[in-house]
């Protein structure tokens, strides 16, 4: 379910917006606009075939200007379809840009989105992860798959590490378990400490006192009233 706002560091969090059948949609230039905000940008060249929904009856074309659609949460909307002819061995690249949450046209966020370059972003992401992976423990075994699995697992756990108001909160993943758990995070703290990331382990561990106290305060006291043993028959 989205959206779910975190009530504090390490609490469950899922960004997004509640679906509304009253949203209006339009295709303006190279952007899909939903309720006045950019949902995504598509390439203008080569010229795409545009439609507000995936399936549009041939003799009932829908306008691509602002309109309300009778759609469901899983209905594909804002379709840009391309037909590109390629010679043998030829390649063509089409870049699409989509923000985590819709942005307002003309805003600083929209300017960043419009100026985003895939190759530059990809190089920055590669450099970022190589720097982090390169400063930790390295393993060298004959089977490459084992090395790749170790690195992928490390990166996966780091991707689930959130920084909220300066506090590191280790979550389990970015989906249904996107929150801090005392037991699971203890395993990850141990992993960070054993693989050369003691600084990250220390920052994650610093969240424990407040969360442990929070759980203790919610725990109901145990009843001290004696109970009779259950009877049984054969």
pLDDT, tens digit (0-9, with 9 covering 90-100), for 185-212: 999 999 999 999 999 999 999 888 887 7
Confidence of residue 232 (pLDDT cuts 50, 70, 90): very low
The three-class DSSP label of residue 92 is: coil
Q: Tell me how far CA of residue 231 lies from CA of 64, 223, 228, 234, in angstroms.
A: 74, 21, 9, 10
Average pLDDT rounded to a whole number, residues 59-87: 82
Mean pLDDT, all residues of the chain: 85
162 has pLDDT over 70: yes
Average pLDDT rounded to a whole number, residues 97-118: 94
Average pLDDT rounded to a whole number, residues 46-70: 75
Residues 37, 103 contacting (CB under 8 angstroms): yes
Task: Tell me the CB-side half-sphere exposure of residue 233, using CA atoms within 13 A.
Answer: 0
In this structure, the strands spanning 77-81 and 161-164 are: unpaired
Which stretch of 15-19, 77-81, 96-100 has the lowest confidence by average pLDDT? 15-19
How far apart are alpha carbons 82 and 46 in whole angstroms? 7
Higher local confidence (pLDDT), 7 or 25: 25
State the pTM of this model: 0.73
**Which DSSP helix (H) or strand (E) runs through 68?**
strand 67-68
Token pair of 161, please?
């590490």
Please report the pLDDT score of residue 57 as a whole number: 56
Short-list 197, 207, 120, 98, CA closest to 155: 197
133-160 pLDDT, tens digit per residue, is 999 999 999 999 999 999 999 999 999 9
């Amino acid at each position: 379910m989205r959206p779910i706002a975190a009530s504090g560091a390490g609490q469950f969090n899922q960004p997004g917006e509640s679906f509304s059948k009253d949203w209006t949609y339009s295709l303006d230039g190279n952007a899909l606009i939903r309720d006045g905000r950019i949902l995504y940008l598509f390439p203008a060249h080569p010229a795409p075939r545009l439609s507000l929904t995936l399936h549009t009856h041939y003799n009932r074309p829908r306008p691509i200007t602002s309109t309300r659609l009778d759609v469901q949460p899983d209905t594909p909307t804002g379709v840009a379809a391309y037909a590109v002819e390629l010679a043998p061995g030829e390649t063509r690249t089409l870049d699409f840009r989509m923000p985590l949450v819709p942005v307002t046209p003309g805003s600083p966020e929209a300017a960043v989105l419009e100026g985003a370059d895939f190759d530059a972003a990809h190089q920055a992401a590669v450099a970022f992860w190589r720097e982090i992976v390169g400063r930790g423990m390295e393993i060298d075994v004959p089977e490459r798959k084992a090395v790749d699995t170790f690195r992928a697992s490390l990166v996966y756990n780091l991707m689930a590490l959130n920084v909220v108001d300066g506090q590191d909160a280790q979550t389990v993943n970015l989906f249904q378990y996107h929150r801090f758990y005392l037991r699971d995070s203890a395993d990850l703290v141990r992993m960070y400490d054993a693989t050369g990331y003691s600084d990250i382990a220390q920052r994650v561990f610093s969240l424990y006192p407040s969360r442990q106290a929070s759980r203790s305060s919610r725990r109901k006291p145990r009843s001290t009233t004696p109970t009779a043993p259950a009877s049984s028959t054969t």
